[in-house]
Structure 1
Amino acid sequence: MTKPVGIVAGGGLVGLTLALALHQKGFKVTVYEAVPKIMPLGVGINLLPHSVKSLAKLGLLEELRSVAIETSSLAYYSEDGKQIWKEPRGIAGGYDVPQFSIHRGDFHMILLKAVRERLGDDAVKTNHRLENFVQDENGVTATFTDSEGQETVAEVTADYLIGADGINSRMRRILYPDEGPPHYSGQMLWRGVSEIDPYLDGRSMFMAGHNDLKLVAYPIRKEAADRGKSYVNWIAERRIPSDLAERQGDWNKEGLLEEFASHFSDWDLGWLDIQNLYENAISIHKFPMIDRNPIPKWTFDRITLMGDAAHAMYPNGSNGVSQGVLDAMTFADLMEEGGDITDILQKYEDERREVTSRIVLANRETGPEKVMQMVHEQCPGTCGEVHTCIDPDTLEEVATAYKKLAGFHAGTLNTSK
């Protein structure tokens, strides 16, 4: 029996991971990406242990380790530097694999290189923007234009079509034409990278503040660490209630220090000079924190959605990319099991849609970061160097519940295949 051949719309992190996973299982797939040239854009992301375990199966562990930082711990603080909660991560946290903090562009280039080496240069076609598709009982035909949408460049027929084309997915817009723009959280993000002297152990991720004003930071490049420096990805988050419904996520919109830095001027973490972190920024990007509402259906016969196109979520919990990796691996595993392609696509949705919908909604409630707001609202101001205003068992319960929901609780993950 002939194996199904697929089309992937979107050459981002999820689309390329899917291509590698399907190739490993012996399936042919071609990735179509809208931009004329794939570039190493963006700032830092986290690859949590459940996604790293999957990426290790694809033979990428050592390459990731050669460029990324193996995150040693995650800690939450109030703005005066008092610790709320701290836990080891990755190998130190009892996992079989590391947790990585990595530049998004570095990860993208690792995936792209692997796809081209294993599948061939023709496996990724750039300057191909999905315009539309038609399907029948024999297959699906996708029409692609150039990146500007001006000229048709290809019509491609295959057995199935995956839309992995991001939060502003063309595929999703076709399926849900009345959905409208992404959902705005009321919070603006300024994301930057700065090379500074290491803080704490040089491999720590931390979050400080509360729902209205927050700082997240973590080092992301091993090359800098090897030189005795830290290449730190940071996110300054400030609530700006306004109607930003028409704003879209834009990695390349420039952010300005005067828009946010002064709001942190009275913060004192003790072990990190926050203003120095901001002032040493190599680049600053500004965009609203947005996601999309869960939708009732991803799969329509021979087509389905994946990654941010299916379940774009707030970065609370640092879990968005990892969930897209799990999408890709789940689909590849189901393809290996075999069966009718429409049944496989539906099984994939059945396994992934409900759980990712729950994560989207949990992240709107700030996910595991809710412990910072709990302290902000409940601390009487009498705590010492470490907050004791919230019972440790309660903090542990919050952390554990999110890990179980998102699929990276060590006890479960280490015993899974």
Structure 2
Amino acid sequence: MKILIIGGGISGLAVALALHRTGQDVTVFERSQEIHEVGAGLTIWPNAIRVLEQLGLGEVIPQIGMPAHYRTIRTWRGALLSQIEVDAIAGSPMRLMHRADLQGALLNALRAASVPIVLGARCTGFTQDEESVHASFADGRSADGDLLIGADGIRSSIRAQLFGTPNIHYTGYTSWRGIAEVEERYIPLGISSETWGVGRRIGLIPLIHGRMYWFAAYTTPEGQGKEQSPEERKQQVQSLFQGWHDPIAPILEATEASRFIRNDVYDIEPLTHWSQGRVVLVGDAAHAMSPNMGQGGCQAIEDAPVLAECLQSGSDLPTSLRAYEERRKPRTSRVARQSRRIGQLSQVNNPQLYTVRNVLVKALYTQALSKELKWLLQSTI
């Protein structure tokens, strides 16, 4: 089939690679004029690493991803609340990497395979009939294919045309992210850590080449602080986490103000369907979830081989797309629900409940999350 993929993020690139490897004729359309570095890190859990290995990136992953064997949670003073040994659950570590590095690895694989990637192509809509689908772009271009895949993120225009605007849910907190280049003594090697306070938390994710990715979340009304300058953002984040345990302060200080990225955090309510006719959704366009389990990118990567396999089934296209939905929807919905629960737990904004929350986390959280991770990391997709 001739397949049009709208969106050149990790989801679109992964599904393009999976489909190309099964012999499909794939073209990727990306609205940006260039695919450039975004100041964010990713936690790639073993469930997604297995898929990337299947896509031929097995040798690249260790070069771009820092292995992490433990996932920890601490109080703002540094006391340990929870520690999960990933290797004991999955048999291998997760990998911590810069989003741009993973995106670059997927791009390189596609370019080596001569898969067309069209930049500056903002899709403005599509039409379809029983024989084909037609995509239109803002610059007057158009393209025809047998299948169109919407991989254009949480605010997907493809999804909006298919099903209207979904219930995009504000989680109640905003986030900041950044990359710092710091001394090795500040980098907790082999550990992905979070620190939980009252209505705020911060995570530290070590990357290769002496870089530390961090993210912070703060319970606040939607849109608050949106108009701040980079310097004001840095000052606010440093103020929110002043006095917290090492190495939080030096990592924030080492981050250039221009690299403080602010975003309100959203997810979407589960969709009834992901496809209609010759159009289907993948990644955040289909199942955007909050980042609390570090599974948003992983679930997008998992979509790729399942869709490719279903399209090879020999069934007609609508039947193949329904099979893809039926295999993926229960899993992504469960991960999204769990991720939302963790967000609610971690962002407790009441000082009295904070103490109770910490007692419960220390007593029950490790066992409960380990059980959920065992299902997620050991089950097939």
Query: What is the TM-score with the length of structure 1 in the denominator?
Result: 0.82
CA drift at 1:372? 8.5
The structure 2 residue matched to 1:275, chosen from 227, 249, 262, is 249
The structure 2 residue matched to 1:196, chosen from 174, 179, 182, is 182
Counterpart for residue 310 of structure 1: 286
Counterpart for residue 130 of structure 2: 137
Deviations 1:311-337 (A, max 9, x none): 111110111000000111210121233
The range that moved more, 254-263 or 106-115, is: 254-263
Q: Does 1:261 align with 2:231?
A: no
Report the CA distance shift for 1:391/1:137 in structure 2 as closer, same or farther (over 3 A): closer
- Report matched runs for 1:262-411 at 5 Å: 262-267=239-244, 269=245, 272-282=246-256, 283-366=259-342, 370=345, 377=353, 379=355, 389-390=359-360, 394-404=364-374, 407-408=376-377
| Counterpart secondary structure, 1:138 | coil
1:21 alignment partner AA = A
Q: Does 1:26 align with 2:23?
A: yes
- 1:159–1:302: 8 Å Cα contact kept in structure 2? yes
2:221 alignment partner AA = P
CA distance in 2, matches of 1:36, 1:261: 34
RMSD: 2.8
Report the CA distance shift for 1:75/1:241 in structure 2 as closer, same or farther (over 3 A): same
- Report matched runs for 1:71-82 at 5 Å: 71-82=68-79
Q: Does 1:104 align with 2:104?
A: no
2:181 alignment partner AA = E
1:236 alignment partner AA = A
Deviations 1:358-388 (A, max 9, x none): 3223222226x8478699737479xxxxx8x
Deviations 1:220-246 (A, max 9, x none): 22x33xxxxxx11011211112467xx
CA distance in 1, matches of 2:101, 2:232: 22
Counterpart for residue 93 of structure 1: 88
Number of aligned residue pairs: 375
Counterpart for residue 116 of structure 1: 111
- 1:371–1:395: 8 Å Cα contact kept in structure 2? no
The structure 2 residue matched to 1:167, chosen from 154, 159, 166, is 154
CA distance in 1, matches of 2:67, 2:286: 29
CA distance in 1, matches of 2:342, 2:71: 15
CA drift at 1:353? 2.0
CA drift at 1:293? 2.1
CA distance in 1, matches of 2:286, 2:272: 10
Deviations 1:258-278 (A, max 9, x none): 2221122132x3xx2322111
- 2:126–2:136: 8 Å Cα contact kept in structure 1? yes
Counterpart for residue 61 of structure 2: 64
- 1:190–1:255: 8 Å Cα contact kept in structure 2? no
- 1:139–1:157: 8 Å Cα contact kept in structure 2? yes
CA distance in 2, matches of 1:134, 1:59: 34
Report the CA distance shift for 1:16/1:344 in structure 2 as closer, same or farther (over 3 A): same
Structure with higher helix content: 2
CA drift at 1:42? 3.1
- Relative contact order higher in (CA < 8 Å, ≥ 6 apart): 2
Counterpart for residue 228 of structure 1: none
| Counterpart secondary structure, 2:128 | strand
2:331 alignment partner AA = V
2:248 alignment partner AA = I
- 1:52–1:98: 8 Å Cα contact kept in structure 2? no
Deviations 1:111-135 (A, max 9, x none): 11110101x1x52111111111111
CA distance in 2, matches of 1:313, 1:345: 21
1:212 alignment partner AA = G
| Counterpart secondary structure, 2:292 | coil
| Counterpart secondary structure, 1:108 | helix
CA distance in 1, matches of 2:329, 2:352: 33
Identical-pair percentage: 27
For structure 2, which runs of at least 5 residues remain unmatched after alignment? none
Report the CA distance shift for 1:55/1:220 in structure 2 as closer, same or farther (over 3 A): same
| Counterpart secondary structure, 1:205 | strand
Counterpart for residue 227 of structure 1: none
CA drift at 1:143? 1.4
- 1:134–1:140: 8 Å Cα contact kept in structure 2? yes
CA drift at 1:354? 3.0
Counterpart for residue 120 of structure 2: 127
1:237 alignment partner AA = A
Report the CA distance shift for 1:211/1:136 in structure 2 as closer, same or farther (over 3 A): farther
- 2:134–2:143: 8 Å Cα contact kept in structure 1? yes
| Counterpart secondary structure, 1:304 | strand
Report the CA distance shift for 1:16/1:391 in structure 2 as closer, same or farther (over 3 A): closer
Q: Does 1:44 align with 2:41?
A: yes
CA distance in 1, matches of 2:321, 2:231: 40
- Report matched runs for 1:207-222 at 5 Å: 207-210=194-197, 212-221=199-208
The range that moved more, 92-101 or 291-300, is: 92-101
- 2:166–2:268: 8 Å Cα contact kept in structure 1? no
